[in-house]
Structures are given as C-alpha cells and as structure tokens.
Amino acid sequence: MGEYLTMAFLIVTSLLGIILLARLCLMRICGGACANGVHVLPVSGEVECVEWMLRRLLYRGAKRIIVLDLGCAAQTREVLSRFCTDHGAVTLIRADT
C-alpha cells in the first residue's frame, strides 16, 4: 500500500514540475516583462479589453506602462484615466494629430 502512495506522490509532483517548467518556458518564448520593465501600449479606437491588457502587463512584472492615446473612444479614454489614477505605474499620453 505504501508503494502505491509513494508512486502516486511522485507522479503528481512530477506532473506539477513539468507544468511549471512549461509555463516558465512559454513566458520566456511569448514574452514576459521587458528587461527594464517599461512597456509602451498604443491604443486607438474603442478597445474593450484595455483594462485587462494593463492588468496583465502589471501582473507579468511591468514596472512602468506608457499608454499612447492615438484617438481613443471616449469610453476607452475614461477607463484609461481611471486606471492611471488608481495605478501610479501607468501613464497616459495623448498624441495630438
């Protein structure tokens, strides 16, 4: 009975290790945070998932995010300005065209 429990424990921990290693490799390949931690995110039009994108960048380790407003819709600009107010690492820059 003890052999089966030991074998099950080894299998489960091995699978967890493989999953964590694959996640680490995918983050390296797909791009995690930049080396210096600064990201530039150009936004134009109506972007419904802009808050999700910003939260994802912060979660992945971005130390500073610069959002370029290239003609956002009013609702998107409102979401961006609220997010910038709540998070000091995010800066909104409006590009005058």
What is the pLDDT of the chain when averaged over all its residues? Answer: 85
pTM beyond cutoff 0.85: no
CA 39 vs. chain centroid, Å, equals 10
Identify the CA nearest to 65 among candidates 56, 74, 77.
56
Q: How far apart are CA 93 and CA 16, in angstroms?
A: 42
Judge whether residue 62 has pLDDT over 60: yes
pLDDT of residue 14: 94
Structure tokens at 32: 């995690």
- The four Cα atoms 14, 20, 26, 29 give a dihedral, to 10 degrees, of -100
pLDDT digits (tens, 9 = 90+) for 21-56: 888 777 667 665 566 678 888 998 888 899 999 998
